[in-house]
Amino acid sequence: MIRAAVLAVTERSRTRKLITETPPGRLVARRFVAGETLDSAVSVARSLNEEGLKVSMDHLGEHVTDVGAAIEAKDAYLACAHAIDDAGLDANISVKLTQLGMGLNDDMAADHVREIAAAAARVGTSVTIDMEESIYTETTIGIYEGAQKAHGNLGIAIQAYLLRSAADLDRIIPLGGHIRLCKGAYAEPEDIAYQGDSEVDRSFDRLSALLMSSPDTKPAIASHDDARLVPVLEAATQRTAPWEFQMLYGVRRDRQRELADAGNDMRVYVPYGEAWYPYLTRRMAERPANLAFFARALIGK
């Protein structure tokens, strides 16, 4: 698959250096990442709000290897919650559990999530737990279950390409949190994930239909593929409970505004921070259009 090939290439040290240390590479990063500081992310979020778009702010980072880094990440999210409040943003927070210590000390990661959720609740917002590689799926859902039962203002991402996701939805929908449905961006083996685009699309459509028919959760349908959005818009005509679309910062910006202007809630995932390379490479792997943008930047067009 194209995704696996791109991810394999971007893991090479030469590729990393090309992207992170050259002007064209950093130009691409600016397209998809809202700067390296919280202040820059707040500025981007404010501009998006002014266009009628909601925001989910993500301080980039993952797979920390020491307790100190996990604590720093937690503190960065607490600062993000305060910044959302101070700036009066229509925004929530997205977190990755391996950035907060999952895989190093799962109990610590769970404590960090609960502390962030409490801070978010104090400023009237919510927290979405991103889904990472499949080896972390069960632990991620377990931490989400505990935090959502304790605080009630969390959501979780579910990846349509994982074979287990339908069963996971049956488990988490009753918890009442919001659920972000995305296709999935990590390289996974065939006994874990659907491999073909058509298989992933069919799974996405099945799961989005399930979510849109459930009054007990708030679906967040995260796709840039119009073919995936059409059945959701049709299902929305029969739905009275809240739901929303989500798209990534820098991807299909005109379409984001079109959907918002048509009266749909549209939330833009706004990543920021210095650890942007892994995030950027997954975005290139997901969509050929992103690869084309990078190629044009490299040749100066």
In one-letter notation, the amino acid at residue 157 is A
Domain ranges across the chain: 34-275
Which helix (H) or strand (E) is 141 found in, with range?
Answer: helix 137-151
Q: Cα dihedral sign for 43, 254, 156, 109?
A: negative
**Of 5-9, 149-153, 250-254, 291-295, which one has max mean pLDDT?**
149-153
pLDDT of residue 9: 43
Q: How far, in Å, CA of 141 to CA of 130, rounded?
A: 10
Residues 6+ apart with CB under 8 A from 291: 6, 284
pLDDT of residue 6: 47
In one-letter notation, the amino acid at residue 214 is S
pLDDT of residue 120: 99
Q: What is the pTM of this model?
A: 0.89
Residues with catalytic function: 130, 180
Nearest 5°: the CA angle 92, 97, 103 is 175
Q: Is the pLDDT of residue 288 over 80?
A: no
- Please write the tens of the pLDDT for every residue from 159-217: 999 999 999 999 999 999 999 999 998 889 999 999 999 999 999 999 999 999 999 99
pLDDT of residue 279: 81
Closest CA relative to residue 10, chosen from 251, 278, 189, 274: 278
What letter would DSSP give residue 97? Answer: G
- Please write the tens of the pLDDT for every residue from 86-143: 999 999 999 999 999 999 999 999 999 999 999 999 999 999 999 999 999 999 999 9
Instruction: Tell me which architecture the domain covering 34-275 has in CATH.
Output: Alpha-Beta Barrel (3.20)
pLDDT of residue 31: 83
Q: Is the pLDDT of residue 72 over 60?
A: yes
pLDDT level of residue 74 (50, 70, 90 thresholds): very high
Structure tokens, 73? 């990440």
